[in-house]
Amino acid sequence: MGLLDSLLGGENAEQTNNSPGGAALVTAVSGLLAQNGGLQGLLTKFTQAGHGDTVASWIGTGENQPISPDALQHVIGPDQVNAIATKLGVDPTQASALIAKFLPHVVDKLTPNGVVDPTADHSQTLSSMLPSLLQTFGGGAFSKFFETPAGQ
């Protein structure tokens, strides 16, 4: 799987809390929520695009169904994908793949009781959940992806 393998491959957990790549990803997801009417608005877009069962799995307490990068791009649109890619410093294809992999876990964490709280400040919640979200993906692997090699 290349990119995602390198993203999700292990680094030590001490780096998780300070992962600049993870923070950039959380910022990108927070922006995605803000631009789509919050968590409820974003999930409504996915449901209206025919991904209601997938979204329900993210909210529910069972296993999260995956979403393909193409389906994600179709739902949120190429402009938002391009904006996320720019924030993350990757190409749009990589951004779609990364968000498609990360979003189900984010929604799952933001809906711990199986319901969406429309009054919750999900941006604040995302920031506080960064360490546990990154642990889901094998520690500080995001920092490995986003760091610039020294002297190169």
Quickly count: other Cβ atoms within 10 Å of residue 35's Cβ: 15
Confidence tier at 16 by pLDDT (50, 70, 90): very low
Higher pLDDT, 89 or 11: 89
User: Which CATH number belongs to the domain containing residue 95 in this structure?
Assistant: 1.10.10.690
Higher pLDDT, 12 or 103: 103
Residue pLDDT, tens place only, 21-37: 667 777 888 889 889 98
DSSP conformation class of 149: P
Residue 113 falls inside a structural domain: yes
Predicted TM-score (pTM) of this structure: 0.74
Number of structural domains in the chain = 1
pLDDT for 14 equals 35
Confidence tier at 150 by pLDDT (50, 70, 90): very low
Which residues span the domain enclosing 135? 37-145
For residue 35, give both structure tokens.
């631009």
R_g (Cα) of the chain, nearest Å: 15
